[in-house]
Every structure is written in C-alpha cells, then in structure tokens.
Amino acid sequence: MKVDRRSFLGLGLGAVAGVTVSPLPWKLIDDVSIWTQNWPWTPVPPDGEVTYDNTVCTLCPGHCGISVRKINGRPVKIEGRKGYPINDGGVCLHGLSSLQYLYDPARVKQPLMKKGKVWEKISWKDAITLVTGKLAELRKKQSPDRLACITDTDKGTISGLFERFLKAFGSNNFYTISSMDKTWEKTFKMMHHSGSSPGFDLKNSDFILSFGCGFIEGWGSPVHNFKINSAWKENKAKFVQIEPRLSHTAAKADMWIPVKPGTDADLALGMCCEIISKDLYDTSYISGFTKGFNDFSNMVKKNYTPEKVSKTTGVPASKIKELALKFAKAKTPVAIAGKGRGYKAGSMKEFTAVHALNCLAGNINKKGGVWTMPFMEYGNWPAINMDSVASAGVSKPVIGESGSVAALFEKINASKKSPVDLLFVYQSNPCFTMHDVKAVEKAVEKIPFIVSFSSVMDETAEKADIILPSHMFLERYEDVPGAFGLVEEVTGLCVPVAGPVFNTKNPGDSILMIAKALKGSVASSFPWENYHACLEKITGDIWDKLSGDGYLRKDANLPYLRPDADFSFAAQNTESVKMEGSEGSFPLILVPVDNMRLFSGVFASSPFAVKTVSDTIIKKRDILVELNPVTAKKIGLSHGDYAMIATPKGTAKVKVHIFEGIMPGVVGMDEGLGHTAENIFIKDKGVNVNELVGPVIDTGSGLDAAWGIRAKLSKV
C-alpha cells in the first residue's frame, strides 16, 4: 500500500483524535498514579468497633474532662467531654495531642539506671532494691531528713502518698513547685483565713480587671476561661487587661492598658487611693467586716495618689481615675492577678493590692465576686506509724527557709556538701521551668542520688541516677482535685484508657513498693495492697460517685468562710519586687511571654503543638524576640536580624521580630522553648528564657517572684 502525504496525515490525525477521545490515556494516568501511591510503607490503620472512654486530662492544672475515641480498643482521638463541669466539650490543643505524649519516643520505656554517663536497663525489682538500699542507709545513719522530694502539687492521693512517705521516713523536706496558687493562698492567709484560696466567679462578673493574667493563655483552667471569655462577649461584660504587651488576652480585652513592667501593684494601689478618696467603696462591708482599713487608707492616700502613680506606671492619672470609677461603679467587679499562665509565684505586694480592690468593692463571697474557699478536704488517711528515727527526723526544720524549691536549691548551692543526699522528683522539671536554670542544674548535680519518677526523659530526669518511670495520665488511675480559682469544687478521676504502652508503673504503686521494701514502721504506714486499693480507701465515701460518673461536683452547699478581710499587710507597703541588673549596662527590660500554643510546664510541647507555633516565634532553630520598632531602630535592628541578648544571668543569640504591640524598651521572649532533653521535635529549638532570668525573692512571701530582668540587645 502506498502511503502518500495525505493518508499519512489522515492516519496520524485519526490516531491522535482516537487516543484523545478514548478514555485510555486518562485511565492509564489514573492507574499509574494509584499504582505509584500504593506503597507498603503507607500505613493502613486497622478498622473496628468505635467506643468512647472518659477520663481527665492532667497535662496542666486546668483538669478538663476528656473523651477518648477508640477503634477496637486502640485510642485514636482525644475529644472534650461534653457535660463535664469544667470544660463542657471544649479542649485545648495540648489535651488534643495527648496521644502524641502517650507514644512519645522520648518516653522512658522501662526502669533505667545511670552507669557513668550511660543509661542502663534495669528490672523493676532491682530498681526498687537499689532505691530502698539507699534509703535504708539514710535511716541507719539516723539522718532521714537528708531525703527530699519535689512534686508539682500537694493535692490528690499520689502526691499525698509521696508526702506521707517522707513523713513516715522522717523528713519534712516535701516541696511543691511555686506558682501563683501559692501567692494567692498566702494572700488569703494574710487577708482572710489560713487554709483558704480564692474562687473567682468570673462568669457572673460584669467588670474584670486583670493585672497581667494570661487569661486566655493558660491562666487557671484554660478551657474554662475560653468559655467564660465567650460568655462575656455575649453578656457585654467588660474585660480590662493591664500589661506592657499586646498579648492574646490584651487583644481580646475591651480595654488594654499598657503599664510599665513590674508596676502593677502601684497601679492597683493608685486605684485604691482614688476609690477611697472619692468614697466609692462599699462602706457597709468595710466597716462591718474589715480590720486595718484606716492604716491602709492613710498609706495609699500618702504614697499612691493617681498623680504619683502615673509617674511610676506610665498610665495617665485621668486613666487611673476613670478605671477606678468604672471598677467601683460596676455591679460585680473582680480584679485578678498572676502573670501569664501563673506557673510562677507573684509578689505579695501586688496580689494584696489587687485583692484590696476586690475588698473595697465589697465583692467578697457574693455572686460575681471573689469567694473565700476552704481547702478542699477529703480522704481519710490513717495515722502514720512513726518510729524514733522518723520522729527525730521530722522535728528538724525544712531545708531552705521559705520551704520553696528555690530556697532548697539556694541552700544546696550555698553549702559545701549538699544537705540533701537523696532526692525524689515527681511530675516536675525544675531544670527547665525554674529561673536561673544554670544554678538549678548546679544544685541538682550536687545531690548525690536522685530518683526520678518521670514518664519522659526530660531535663531533670537526664540528671537523675535512677528512673522509675511512671504511667502517663492516659494509662493510670488518679484522683484529680479541682482546678485553681474555680467557684465550684470538681474532683475528677483519671482512669486508664490506654496501655500501659511501656514497662512503667503508676507512681502511687512505685512509692508503695518502696515503702513495703523498707519494712518496719514505714511499711506499716502503707497498709494498702496497691495504689488502686489505696485510692478507693482514701477517697472513701466519694469513691462510688467518682468511679461512676468520673467526677464529683460540689457547688451548692460549699462551706464558704466568713468574708472578713484584714488590710494590715497591704498597709505595710512592702517593697516591690525589683528586677535584677542596672539600667546603665542593661537599658532594656526582658519579660517572659506565655503563649497558649507552647507548653511551658512540666512537659515539652507535642509535635502538633510545635506545628501551630508561628514563624514569628520560632524559625528553624532560632527563637525570635518581640521588639517595638522604635526600640529596634535605636539599636539598628530590623525584622529577622540576628542579635545577642544579654542579661545579668547570661547571653543568647536570638532573632528579632518587630511587633508594634510591645511597649518600647521591652523585649518579649516566649516561654517553653530551648529544651535540651532528647526530643527531635523540640530539642535545641530556641532559647529557654529561664536561663536568662534569675530568681528574685519576694520579701512578703519568701517565694521567687521575678517577673523579668534588665537586658541588652546588640547586633551581631
């Protein structure tokens, strides 16, 4: 057959048209794409029956109820528990990432013992024998007081067991990490009754004055607060934020009052002065229920006139007067304190000044006000059997005057030989969360033997000599007493909803094992077979309700205390907490910034949480510090430039983020970065601001109340 030009073109065009019209090429492309995507390493999660289990999240002190979705018993998703009194279905990003914490590669998978610098695997039996050996030695030497313990809280039966163990052993050295809760408790002790803490009825309040609280950045019970914040928008309540920086909270506030860092107490006292001078306070409450009011009134009138305060705080006198008037005229005003998340203690001067505002408004033990709540008490702990060693031990005073962790470490660093021979660390990470990390590390290294009960290899666990790894909260039973600052008492129950994934134990069981192995009076003080039996016995009559509903709520008939208030401490006008460093060599002020998306507590942020963090906070491995354009221009820095930040405590290389919302002269730096413990998703990202800020002891409380430090930025 002759192929001429005409038929060649015809055939060719026909073929092109045929192929185009036929589905073949499209089908082939589709098949090829499907084929190239069916890799054996692409996971196919197994399907199965869907169930839900309820428990309580204990990652932060908020204690939300959560619901775990499971497929064939395998947890796949965390959701908020609907109807739970604290969070009613809402849940924060950290709680949502709990399953990443469950399977975290950084978890301690079985008991470990340090040989030289290397961790070696050890059986539970050998680990307990080793720890009890060390403990028995201390008792033999008649020095049980050389045992100390650091935990995050003294509430709940697990912490209760630790505290009880120390007593039975013969030591008073039981420490909890200082947070704003402690300052509030001390404030209430001074102004109301000992053994009480505040319950803020913020939901029913119509005017809220927040002195630097990160109300929606993790303060108190975060999810509870998010809900209240939305309720305020609907009820048209007014929220005023006093802070040198436009935080998330300030951004959502109805009014943001930038105040010079560290002068919150002055502003509060200035408002008190205005309220008293204009007779705007609740006279019936003040005359009927308070002591020391005249002294307080004279003191503020003398030292804190709005004009004087205006100079210290940088807030115009007219604004102070306006604010005082608005506060006093509001129906149910509440003033709150506790900087950022409130994970650090605050100054007594500031807290008492802020609470004086509440008292002047007469809004104590009233709807929409502040309630004096007695410490939640339950649990029928039997008496402890004390032998002569234990009795002698507990007669010695606690190491470190104020009984705070900071005081303990200071004492250790000041002594040639550590007064503590053996340290228990449970659910706390002082080598990351405390001010002046270097000094903390030095003190920790001086302690001869450290037992960590951590479930992850964090900065403090890395420095331990032996780790008895704990179940994480999804794997264990635990009673969870209510969150700080709530008006209703909610006790939650953590139940195992997964695992245990690794060879870990409930920390309650670990401590029981140690006690039993010690024999004698110590063992007989712990008559329970295991932690579960102990929990059931101690919670006693509320156990049925706890295990049935998962929580116990008490709100109607709380035994609130009398609303009496005492102004004498506030009238003393104690020193403000000054920041370290001189203005000459350090012209700027560094303030730590709490960010909801970065966890700054015991745990490092999860991969999901880190993913949500803006690239104006972390870029590759660099942390960015916030700087007002005016300040940046003075130093000659622009956005994205590298700079060295220096404080009296140390230096670090940072990048600059130009932010209009921060006061000129102030540098903002996020908390929760700069982890050094092994974790590929967060390790060596940024700088730990606690390395740059040193502790400053507040005279009023004896606690470290540093809120910032003087700093210098220079171009590199």
Partner 1 sequence: MTKEQNKRKKHVFGMVIDLDKCTGCGSCMVACMSENNVPFREDESDKKRSITWMRVYKLTNGKSFPDTEICYLPRPCMHCGGHGDHGHSPCVSVCPVNATRYGYDTGIVSQIYTRCFGCRYCMAACPYHARYFNWWDPKWPGEMEKYLSPNVSPRMRGVVEKCSFCYQRYQAARDKALYEGRDEIEENEYQTACTEACPAGAITFGDLNNPDHMVYKMVQPDPHHTRKPLNPKAFRLLERLETNPKVYYISEREWVRKAGDNYIKGEWEKLNKNHGKSDE
CB of 252 to partner 1, least distance (A): 6
Interior angle at CA 267, CA 350 and CA 62, nearest 5: 45
Which span (247-255, 337-345, 366-374, 640-648) binds partner 1, by CB under 8 A? 247-255
Using the rule CB under 8 A, which residue among 23, 45, 116, 559 binds partner 1? 45
Cα(518)–Cα(337) distance, integer angstroms = 45
Using the rule CB under 8 A, which residue among 2, 5, 23, 42 binds partner 1? 42
Query: CA separation (Å) from 676 to 128, 377, 458, 672?
Result: 28, 39, 8, 11
Q: Are 160 and 538 spatial neighbours (Cβ–Cβ below 8 Å)?
A: yes
CB of 43 to partner 1, least distance (A): 5
- Mask 577-596, x = binds partner 1 (CB under 8 A)? -------------------x
Site for partner 1 in 465-524 (CB under 8 A): 501
Could you say whether residue 652 binds partner 1 (CB under 8 A)?
Answer: no
Using the rule CB under 8 A, which residue among 23, 43, 116, 584 binds partner 1? 43
Could you say whether residue 219 binds partner 1 (CB under 8 A)?
Answer: no
Residue whose CB is less far from partner 1, 419 or 482: 482
Query: Of how many residues is the chain composed?
Result: 716
* Residue partners of 438: CB distance under 8 A and separation at least 6: 649, 650, 691
Edge-to-edge, what's the strand order for the sheet holding 118-121?
Answer: 118-121, 112-115, 466-467, 449-452, 422-425, 147-151, 174-176
Residue whose CB is less far from partner 1, 574 or 616: 616
Using the rule CB under 8 A, which residue among 103, 125, 126, 575 binds partner 1? 103
Could you say whether residue 227 binds partner 1 (CB under 8 A)?
Answer: yes
CB of 34 to partner 1, least distance (A): 5
Could you say whether residue 223 binds partner 1 (CB under 8 A)?
Answer: yes
- Mask 691-710, x = binds partner 1 (CB under 8 A)? --------------------
Site for partner 1 in 199-218 (CB under 8 A): 216
Cα(225)–Cα(221) distance, integer angstroms = 6
Could you say whether residue 24 binds partner 1 (CB under 8 A)?
Answer: no
CA neighbor of 357 nearest in space, from 273, 300, 272: 272
Residue whose CB is less far from partner 1, 363 or 679: 679
Q: Which residues pair with 70 in a beta bridge?
A: 51, 75
Residue whose CB is less far from partner 1, 67 or 690: 67
Sequence-ordered alpha helix ranges (H) in 529-664: 531-539, 543-549, 568-571, 607-612, 629-635
CB of 492 to partner 1, least distance (A): 17
Q: Which two tokens stand for residue 324?
A: 């005082």
Could you say whether residue 535 binds partner 1 (CB under 8 A)?
Answer: no
Buried (b) or exposed (e) across 658-689, using 16+ Cβ within 10 A?
Answer: bbeebbebbbbbbbbbbbbbebebbeebbbbb
Could you say whether residue 248 binds partner 1 (CB under 8 A)?
Answer: yes
Residue whose CB is less far from partner 1, 16 or 630: 630
Could you say whether residue 660 binds partner 1 (CB under 8 A)?
Answer: yes
Residue whose CB is less far from partner 1, 140 or 611: 611
Three-class SS string for 143-158? Answer: CHHHEEEEECCCCCHH
Residue whose CB is less far from partner 1, 93 or 280: 93
Could you say whether residue 97 binds partner 1 (CB under 8 A)?
Answer: yes
Could you say whether residue 90 binds partner 1 (CB under 8 A)?
Answer: yes
- 3-state DSSP call for residue 694? coil
Residue whose CB is less far from partner 1, 210 or 628: 628
Q: Is the peptide bond before 507 cis (omega within 30 degrees of 0)?
A: no
Site for partner 1 in 667-686 (CB under 8 A): 680-681
Using the rule CB under 8 A, which residue among 597, 655, 710, 712 binds partner 1? 597
Could you say whether residue 548 binds partner 1 (CB under 8 A)?
Answer: no
Could you say whether residue 1 binds partner 1 (CB under 8 A)?
Answer: no
CB of 66 to partner 1, least distance (A): 11
Residue whose CB is less far from partner 1, 431 or 623: 623
Which span (37-45, 301-309, 545-553, 560-568) binds partner 1, by CB under 8 A? 37-45
Interior angle at CA 23, CA 17 and CA 29, nearest 5: 110
Sequence-ordered alpha helix ranges (H) in 330-372: 348-360
Could you say whether residue 116 binds partner 1 (CB under 8 A)?
Answer: no
# residues contacting partner 1 (CB under 8 A): 80
CB of 90 to partner 1, least distance (A): 3
Site for partner 1 in 69-88 (CB under 8 A): 69, 71, 74-80, 87
CB of 205 to partner 1, least distance (A): 18
Cα(293)–Cα(303) distance, integer angstroms = 15
Using the rule CB under 8 A, which residue among 629, 635, 651, 676 binds partner 1? 629
Using the rule CB under 8 A, which residue among 608, 634, 635, 650 binds partner 1? 608
Interior angle at CA 180, CA 331 and CA 343, nearest 5: 120
Cα(599)–Cα(595) distance, integer angstroms = 8
Q: Which two tokens stand for residue 61?
A: 């002190």
Site for partner 1 in 418-447 (CB under 8 A): none
- Mask 302-341, x = binds partner 1 (CB under 8 A)? ----------------------------------------
Site for partner 1 in 255-284 (CB under 8 A): 256, 258
Using the rule CB under 8 A, which residue among 10, 14, 105, 288 binds partner 1? 105
Q: Are 231 and 254 spatial neighbours (Cβ–Cβ below 8 Å)?
A: no
Could you say whether residue 37 binds partner 1 (CB under 8 A)?
Answer: yes
Residue whose CB is less far from partner 1, 79 or 549: 79
Q: Which DSSP state fits 704?
A: B
CA neighbor of 106 nearest in space, from 444, 505, 469, 609: 469
Which span (6-14, 90-98, 277-285, 426-434) binds partner 1, by CB under 8 A? 90-98
Q: Are 46 and 52 spatial neighbours (Cβ–Cβ below 8 Å)?
A: no
Residue position matching structure tokens 């030989």: 417
**What are the φ and ψ backbone dihedral angles of 95, each rounded to 5 degrees?**
-60, -40
- The DSSP line for 557-587 is T--PPP--EE-HHHHT-PPP-PPSS-TTT--
Cα(666)–Cα(713) distance, integer angstroms = 11
Question: If 0-12 CB within 10 Å is exposed, 13-18 middle and 19+ buried, where does residue 568 land?
Answer: middle
Could you say whether residue 612 binds partner 1 (CB under 8 A)?
Answer: yes
Q: Is the dihedral of CA 618, 624, 625, 631 positive or negative?
A: negative
Q: Which residues pair with 625 in a beta bridge?
A: 656
Which span (36-44, 134-142, 169-177, 374-382) binds partner 1, by CB under 8 A? 36-44
Question: If 0-12 CB within 10 Å is exposed, 13-18 middle and 19+ buried, where does residue 502 land?
Answer: middle
